[in-house]
Structure 1
């Protein structure tokens, strides 16, 4: 039976519910994702064997015996090798020490396939921390998970790769919602990724690199964009590095499921140990870089294994890697002998930015998520009064050196590498409460843009959710039109038409997916409700015929239980219907807003004063006058005026407030009299 994407998502999230709370923290996501992938590999291995046997039988005009099938199955051609004794059936048949059996099977599969090294990082047989020798995840829980996954075939015969890939991304998103602040380590909101990918517009032949790739979402979205443009995902090459082994494993699985054939290196810091290097040991060059690095990493200069709580050890290591000129970078990305100062020890943002710049080809481009501090932190060189006076009574002056971050930003701007900056709404990232922006770098900018920088203020437009803010499709459209028009009003109508059509289709597709998902998640309740109706009717009919009191009491008790189950099921279906109605209302609002935003953008580019409130192309001379400070409010009118209130409305409000005050005075007097404090 073919599974829909929504049925698969409900099935996978059901597995997560079985394991939640039975591992340390958010580790359960790695267990579920790796188990799903292992089941997929095994099911597809069996499917490939079945298809090959069926083809041989067709060619030979006869049916194979079971013995012949077993021989052919073992030696047939497979995408991945699943060793004998390590297949899903072997795990399913185990009854004791299931965690040990499962772990051994997974690791054997990884050893048999070089492409899968590092994919299975969890130990299902890990002992509990109390020293009892019992496994952290009890045998019965592992058994329940195996039985849960056993209910559906995950091979191509039941689940096409594109559906499985989208379901996997959905699962990662659900884990991110569940993890809250910690999700920022492995997940970037897809709306932000989509904006960056569409700003860079990957093309066949590109090499794409994410130096802090987490679960690989940016690489996957870039591949999706290529498919959308009519190309195969492998028309480009994909590379990523991720320090966290567990997150890298998720990223590798994501890559395999989406058919990217990405190279993802794990376990080392991109700054201290970049994995992709050229023949000279320098960072390898890529045509496109997408990144969301850890914001303001205080110990960016330390290898992961040296990041301990020992302050003395850190201070000693700091002296070893920093000189008077700054960080001693062995890869020539910044510091002595380069065009850029070394970043300060306490803020790693420019370390990542300069690594990205060093990883770009001569015509390379980058889209980076950054804290807005990179736009303005650091002061230029200034002269200050010391508070002392010379012999003639004149104040003594001392020269204060420019801060390193100011000098790096100035060098980037003077080299004409910064193409555009987009400020984002607050709280759109998991666990990052600081204001963020998108930084677009281009090493070969068009001549007409050479001495300009586009600044976009996109912080006003978002959807407010209960625990974070979300960029809507129409908010993404605003940013894309500003970036792709780059101040050219003549291009805006065509861009609005292009994006409006695509985004309306995207909104409708998301609406359909959400409704289907809600219906799939509540399918068991709906089935239960359908069955309970006839059962209740039969019980009522039976009760009406009974004359013996004891039988009546027994039947009435059964009826009460059935009615309670019906009420609970009906409540669940009611909740589903409310959510479906809300999803449809939200989609309709978004579709309407797309049209309104499109009309607003066209009008905006005909009114320079209004355009100044959202975007502006700024010349380098003005940026130099502002001492290379890129804080967007310096250039774009971000002031939010108070809403105008008419005199009549103001007087009405005043009269209402005075009346309310008089009523409160009277009530207070009554209370005081009641307790004897007033006459």
Structure 2
């Protein structure tokens, strides 16, 4: 693991080295494609069937020719069908824009292949690919297609997929939810090795061609190409509105938070619970997900906190979801989980077939203090955090377990109506009241006063800098 991390460190530095030669997006795509190439080309010549093997590539890249051209030709040669997935590895305008004679790019590619040559085979390449995705997510571009592992494991644990389930992600990114769902089924002992047993059926869609390519490579590396029922779909999931066909047992979604979107002509786009505002697509995603579920289906969706309390059309939609009794839980996640955004998020759990004791009730979990601080402003969900969140929901769903002060609380439909359909967990979960120690209040007032004066001073400094800048114009 440590060796793999050091390799990722080097690969991440390569992105910075080549920013003058190509964009960061291009270099990320090239690195991920090279890791994939290392895995699929490391085969005997008979299996390669005329395509360059890893040994061939090492010799060509380290020779006198242009490494960029060698890699582009190899990616083109290894394009094709992998199970039900179609991979066009070189069909990328960003990669094609890299000049084949770029000297600096050639040298970095030679170094890159040297690093990959030292890495092991099979599992190491899968791990290396995942580590690259995680590292690149720290860049804003990478955050568009990668969900942190702890969040993925939490959502998959809440859904508890089973063999034979039809599993769908309408904004699949790098394919993390589909891969973790398959891993969960296998590790839980539910997936039989017997080929006549019920297979796992995976479906993914993403509007971005580059993202679909990253997901397809990831799925192939995890040996899941045959579990896909078809190739990754292109196109905008939201064009289906609420009528996504009721096709799936389980749906996962981490759509862009509160993005603006083009609603098109609402006369032709059906929205069961009401038309979402064009300024925020959160409830367009929610309605698409709910509409995609079979009558017994369940889903987990990540949304910005604002979706839980904003008024207008969104309040009307929340009321419809609550009255229809398809919302099972809202879980407040801790801040700092997503490196590409500081927007706090909640996890919404939907279930179309709640147990009798859960009917017309919603569980609220306030996990904002969970997680482990790993750096300034960054947190991760550790295994114990995942287990606690998942355990709370399962206990509630299966047995109707009691509320836990400071952590969870169940509200009835009438109580939620009285709160104007405000679904913020922090509003409903009763906080733990700590006993005050002598002088604690006075110390806290002093601390807050000092902090406030510090903010006043910072505001004054920024005002002076702004005035100086304006005078210099």
Checking the alignment, whether the CA contact within 8 Å between 1:86 and 1:105 is kept in structure 2 is yes
Rounded to whole Å, the distance in 1 between the matches of 2:379 and 2:147 is: 13
Contact 1:16 1:32 in 2 (8 A): no
Alignment counterpart, residue 447 of structure 1, candidates 339, 349, 356: 356
Match in the other structure for 1:21: 17
Structure 1 residue aligned with 2:276, among 343, 346, 355?
Answer: 343
**Equivalents in 2 of 1:150, 1:167: separation in Å?**
13
Aligned to 2:136: 175
Greater RCO (CA < 8 Å, at least 6 residues apart): 2
Partner Cα distance (2:249, 2:397) in 1: 25
The aligned counterpart of 1:87 is 53
**Residue of 90, 93, 109 corresponding to 1:142:** 109
1:616 is displaced (CA, Å) by: 0.8
**Distance in structure 2 (CA, Å) of the matches to 1:235 and 1:227:** 11
Q: Output the CA distance in 2 between the equivalents of 1:487 and 1:110.
A: 46
1:36-75 aligned at under 5 Å gives the runs 36-43=35-42, 45-46=43-44, 73=46
Q: TM-score, normalised by structure 2?
A: 0.81
Specify which of 75, 82, 94 is matched with residue 106 of structure 1. 75
Partner of 2:177: 218
The Cα shift of 1:478 comes to 2.5
Alpha-carbon separation, structure 2, partners of 1:248 and 1:136: 30
What is the match of residue 366 of structure 1?
Answer: 299
Query: Contact 2:206 / 2:233 at 8 angstroms: preserved in 1?
Result: yes
**Alignment check: 8 A CA contact 2:85 2:231 kept:** no
State how far apart, in whole Å, the 1-side matches of 2:339 and 2:7 are: 25
> Aligned pair 1:250/2:183, yes or no?
no
Q: 1:485 to 1:100 in 2, by over 3 A?
A: same
Counterpart-to-counterpart distance in 2, 1:634 and 1:18: 46
1:206 maps to 165
CA displacement at 1:289 relative to structure 2: 0.4
Task: Decide whether the 8 Å contact of 2:179 with 2:222 is kept in 1.
Answer: yes
The answer to whether the Cα contact below 8 Å between 1:125 and 1:136 also exists between their aligned partners in 2 is no
Tell me by how many angstroms 1:29 deviates: 2.0
Greater Rg, structure 1 or structure 2? 1
Aligned counterpart, 2:463: none
Check conservation: 1:202, 1:288, Cα contact below 8 A: yes
Q: Does the 8 Å CA contact 1:127/1:136 hold for their aligned counterparts? A: no
- Aligned residue for 2:334? 425
Match of 1:117 among 87, 90, 100: 87
Q: Partner of 1:248: helix, strand, or coil?
A: helix
Shift of 1:237: 1.2
Does the C-alpha gap of structure 1 residues 41 and 648 become closer, same or farther in structure 2, counting only changes over 3 Å?
Answer: closer
How many angstroms does 1:13 deviate by?
Answer: 4.4
Residues 1:646 and 2:438 aligned together: yes
When structure 1 is superposed on structure 2, of 469-478 and 408-417 the one drifting more is 469-478
SS in 2 for 1:138: helix
The 1:643–1:119 alpha-carbon spacing in structure 2 relative to 1, beyond 3 Å, is farther
Q: Structure 1 residues 96 and 447, CA, compared in 2 at 3 Å: closer, same or farther?
A: same
Residues 329 and 169 from structure 1, CA distance in 2 versus in 1: closer, same or farther, beyond 3 angstroms?
farther
Query: Given that residues 428 and 468 in structure 1 are in contact (C-alpha distance below 8 angstroms), is that contact kept between their aligned partners in structure 2?
Result: yes
Please give the secondary structure, in 2, of the residue aligned with 1:235.
coil
Matched position secondary structure for 1:616: strand
Q: Residue 467 of structure 2 corresponds to which residue in structure 1?
A: none
Work out which of the residue numbers 186, 191, 200 in structure 1 matches 2:150.
191
SS in 2 for 1:242: coil
Change (3 A) 1:147 1:456: closer
Distance in structure 2 (CA, Å) of the matches to 1:645 and 1:466: 29
Which of 422, 425, 436 aligns to 1:629? It is: 422
Q: Is the 8 A contact 1:368 1:440 kept in 2?
A: yes
Alignment match, 2:454: none
Deviation at 1:246, TM superposition (A): 2.3
**SS at 2:17's partner residue?**
coil
Encode CA deviations 1:235-292: one digit per residue, 9 max, x unaligned: 3111111222222222111111111223452652221379xx9xxx954611000111
1:290 aligns with 2:252: yes
Q: Deviations over 1:192-215 (max 9, x none)?
A: 111111111010000111111111
Does residue 270 (structure 1) correspond to residue 237 (structure 2)? The answer is: yes
1:480 aligns with 2:420: no
Corresponding residue SS for 1:208: strand
Distance 1:636 1:189, change over 3 A: same
Count matched residues: 428
1:412 aligned partner: 321
Measured in 1, the distance between the counterparts of 2:157 and 2:417 equals: 30
Give the secondary structure class of the aligned counterpart of 1:421: strand
Whole-Å separation in 1 of the counterparts to 2:33 and 2:234: 18
Secondary structure (helix, strand or coil) at the match of 1:357 reads helix
Task: Please give the root-mean-square deviation of Cα atoms over the aligned residues, in Å.
Answer: 3.2
Deviation of residue 134 (structure 1)?
Answer: 5.0
CA contact (8 A) 2:154 2:386 kept: yes
Report what 2:29 is aligned to.
Answer: 30
Q: Is the 8 A contact 1:425 1:435 kept in 2?
A: yes
Conservation of the 8 A alpha-carbon contact between 2:156 and 2:181 = yes
The residue matched to 1:361 in structure 2 has which SS? strand
CA distance in 1, matches of 2:219, 2:430: 42
List alignment gaps of at least 5 residues for structure 1: 50-72, 153-157, 302-320, 379-402, 493-604, 655-679
Is the partner of 1:38 in helix, strand or coil? Answer: helix
| Structure 2 SS opposite 1:340 | coil
User: What residue ranges of structure 2 are gaps of 5+ in the alignment?
Assistant: 193-197, 447-473
Residues 223 and 96 from structure 1, CA distance in 2 versus in 1: closer, same or farther, beyond 3 angstroms? Answer: same
